[in-house]
A = this chain, B = another copy of it.
């Protein structure tokens, strides 16, 4: 058995040894089964179960390059950031993140609650499962984690210390490149455009100077705006769901950034599920049933967030100038503007960029995929250009219906 006193990339057996020998998580005589269950882009994740007792733990280890591409050399410090942020999120939004049992700065791993009775939400939505509590849960998570870490609420010196402790250059660079830059100029030649839409993308994205300019403005908001401690990667692949439970995972992109970044990611990724359902479910009643649940979820995720933010604001705000009449509305309006902008950016980058989503890139019928991608891009552009006006769930649904109608379903 390895001593785990020097970093190396674990394999399944190492993870089992680690859980027993180092963590003392299992008792002697446990009958362990270990599987590498990671399907994300960055880390290695092992589930270790004792077949006898049913007790289980997840070990998540950071590698020194991303799994998605060795282009990304990543600071191992991201596991420290993940551990710190999970603890903090657990305090701010209890019950909505996995419990962390231990963090090991040498092996760059952490041991956390096994959520195998949950599903990754992206896959679950593609299986047409419904999560009636999701909008309620995610809106609470966002309102609490975002509002309670901003200068309207926090002691300003403590907030500045948090800003310092969550400076996250490597992971921010990935976002800066993949979300804010490459979808609009293919600067690093890493976009892989779906061939039937190549001309469409080249015209609508690379060829639209006004759009590129708006993306650049939003990029500088991401560079500069140390507003809230954001999750930084809050898509449906970062959420574990059960009908009665929602757990947000993978916060290694966390840093102090614009609150709208998280909200926009949630909305865009629900929209991808909607576009998939609208494009690929053949049977009209089944399609209407599922898309209407998704529409409700999209609208409620935003509208409940708005309600909860506002209610929590009135209770939690400490900064005296933030209590002036009109301030809350002005401040929140900026968050909703950023939300719309980021919704658009996420729709673009997950359609054309290096890290595509299964909801779109997984559509096997080429005519359907062509259509789904065009719906995403048409909606995205309106979200970016009209971000000063898009403010409610209904606004998003109206634009979504417009984009869907603009690109009729393939027969």
- Residue numbers of A with Cβ under 8 A of B are 151-152, 156-157, 159-161, 163-164, 167-170, 172-173, 176, 180-181, 184-185, 187, 209, 212-213, 215-217, 219-220, 223-227, 320-322, 324-327, 330-331
Contact = CB atoms under 8 A, between A and B. Distances in A.
A216 B327 contact: yes
A241 to B, nearest CB: 32
B225 A180 contact: no
B169 A212 contact: no
The 6 A-B residue pairs with the shortest CB-CB distance, nearest first, are A216-B321, A157-B169, A151-B223, A160-B169, A164-B167, A213-B326
Nearest to A75: B157
27 contacts: A151-B223, A156-B169, A156-B172, A156-B173, A156-B176, A156-B223, A160-B168, A160-B169, A160-B172, A163-B167, A180-B321, A181-B320, A185-B321, A209-B324, A209-B326, A213-B326, A213-B327, A213-B330, A216-B321, A216-B324, A216-B327, A220-B322, A220-B331, A224-B224, A224-B226, A224-B227, A226-B226
A227 B324 CA distance: 26
B327 A185 contact: no
A213 to B, nearest CB: 5
Contacts of A324: 209, 212-213, 216
Given A185-B320, A225-B224, A327-B213, A169 B161 contact: yes
A215 B164 CA distance: 26
A161 B167 contact: yes
Given A164-B167, A213-B330, A224-B226, 11 more contacts: A151-B223, A156-B169, A156-B172, A156-B173, A157-B170, A160-B167, A163-B167, A215-B321, A216-B321, A216-B322, A216-B327
A330 B217 contact: yes
A385 to B, nearest CB: 14
A327 to B, nearest CB: 5
Nearest to A169: B157
Q: Which one of A176, A223, A326 has the highest number of Cβ atoms from chain B below 10 Å of its Cβ? A: A223
A88 to B, nearest CB: 18
B223 A181 contact: no
A150 to B, nearest CB: 8
Contacts of A168: 160
A216 B324 CA distance: 8
A176 B155 CA distance: 12
Contacts of A320: 181, 185, 187
A220 B151 CA distance: 8
A369 to B, nearest CB: 28
A173 B156 CA distance: 8
A161 B216 CA distance: 22
Contacts of A227: 224
Contacts of A152: 220
Contacts of A169: 156-157, 160-161
A87 to B, nearest CB: 21
A157 B181 contact: no
A188 to B, nearest CB: 10
Nearest to A217: B330
A209 B325 contact: yes
Contacts of A164: 164, 167
Q: Which one of A151, A173, A216, A320 has the highest number of Cβ atoms from chain B below 10 Å of its Cβ? A: A216
A324 to B, nearest CB: 5
Contact of A181 (B176, B184, B321, B325): B321
